[in-house]
Amino acid sequence: MNSVEDLLKGYRRFRKGTYAKQAALYRELGEGQNPRIMLIACADSRAEPSDIFNAAPGQLFVVRNVANLVPPYQPDDSLHGVSAALEYAVNVLKIDHLVIMGHGGCGGIAASLEGEGNPEIGEFVTPWVRLLEKARERVVASGSVNPQFALELEGIETSINNLMTFPFVKRAVDAGDLEIHGAWFAIKHGELHWRNHQTGRFEVIEP
């Protein structure tokens, strides 16, 4: 898609195709939502959660941002988009599962690796990817031969750890009402890697 007209053409195809086939579902969803899974993913146009998981409308509560990051709990008067969505999902929707999904070739991860000395990163991206600072230091210190991939996985761990700083998330997890998961998607190969709870390692999901 290259223009607004392309978007509108896509909408018309949606109305005649997907919507026409699922009109009853959309009428039901018009009365409210009850997703059981929240997915925090990257804003990258190549890693669309609904496509990857073959999810129908209403099945996933999705938040997307640069590098699929969750900031730590910080109760102040600043604007907290991710935290607000997280609060709503856990406290109001009462989701059962929360997935942090990264992906290969993430631009936000690359920006973190380039460091703050690069003026092209941007005035908003720079402080945002600073959330990865400690993870980046660990990756660099490890001497990884593929720091981009290593930090993509470390970034998922960072977000999982930050999730547990939210009191309402920790309460839900401790009560057994919420499970937190990590995932990484290889765009080029269409391959999903799922984080093993016991080992912390990411394992390929067989198609």
Given the residues 13, 51, 103, 138, select the one marked as catalytic. Answer: 103
Q: How confident is the model at residue 28 (pLDDT cuts 50, 70, 90)?
A: very high
Please tell me the total count of domains within the chain.
Answer: 2
Tell me, yes or no, whether 19 and 84 share the same domain: no
Tell me, yes or no, whether 91 and 176 share the same domain: yes
Mean pLDDT of 160-175: 98
**pLDDT (0 to 100) of residue 117:** 63
Q: How confident is the model at residue 129 (pLDDT cuts 50, 70, 90)?
A: very high
Given the residues 42, 136, 193, 195, select the one marked as catalytic. Answer: 42
Nearest to 148 by CA among 82, 89, 103: 103
- pTM check: above 0.75: yes
Compute the mean pLDDT over every residue in the chain, rounded to the nearest whole number: 95
Tell me, yes or no, whether 125 and 170 share the same domain: yes
Tell me, yes or no, whether 74 and 106 share the same domain: yes
Give the residue numbers of the binding site for Zn(2+). Answer: 42, 44, 103, 106
Tell me, yes or no, whether 85 and 183 share the same domain: yes
pLDDT tens-digit profile of 179-195?
Answer: 999 999 999 999 999 99
**Domain housing 90:** 33-204
Tell me, yes or no, whether 182 and 111 share the same domain: yes
Tell me, yes or no, whether 52 and 135 share the same domain: yes
Residue 106 catalytic?
A: yes
**pLDDT (0 to 100) of residue 116:** 66
Tell me, yes or no, whether 55 and 147 share the same domain: yes
Residue 42 catalytic?
A: yes
**pLDDT (0 to 100) of residue 119:** 66
Mean pLDDT of 151-159: 98
**Number of DSSP helices (H) and strands (E) in the chain, helices first:** 10, 6
Give the residue numbers of the binding site. Answer: 42, 44, 103, 106
Report whether 159 contacts 100 (CB < 8 A).
yes
Mean pLDDT of 20-44: 97
pLDDT tens-digit profile of 4-27?
Answer: 999 999 999 999 999 999 999 999
Tell me, yes or no, whether 87 and 111 share the same domain: yes
Tell me, yes or no, whether 2 and 81 share the same domain: no
Tell me, yes or no, whether 53 and 123 share the same domain: yes
Element (H, E) at 111: helix 107-114
Q: Report residue 37 as tokens.
A: 């899974």
Reduced to 3 states (helix: H, G, I; strand: E, B; else coil), residue 2 is coil
Given the residues 6, 44, 76, 189, select the one marked as catalytic. Answer: 44
Residue 15 catalytic?
A: no
Q: Exposure pattern of 52-66 as b/e (b: 16+ CB <10 Å)?
A: bbebeeebbbbbbbb
Mean pLDDT of 23-33: 96
Residue 103 catalytic?
A: yes
Tell me, yes or no, whether 8 and 66 share the same domain: no
State the CATH number of the domain containing residue 51.
3.40.1050.10
Q: Provide the edge-to-edge strand list for the sheet that holds 191-195.
A: 60-65, 37-42, 97-103, 179-186, 191-195, 202-204
Given the residues 12, 46, 130, 197, select the one marked as catalytic. Answer: 46
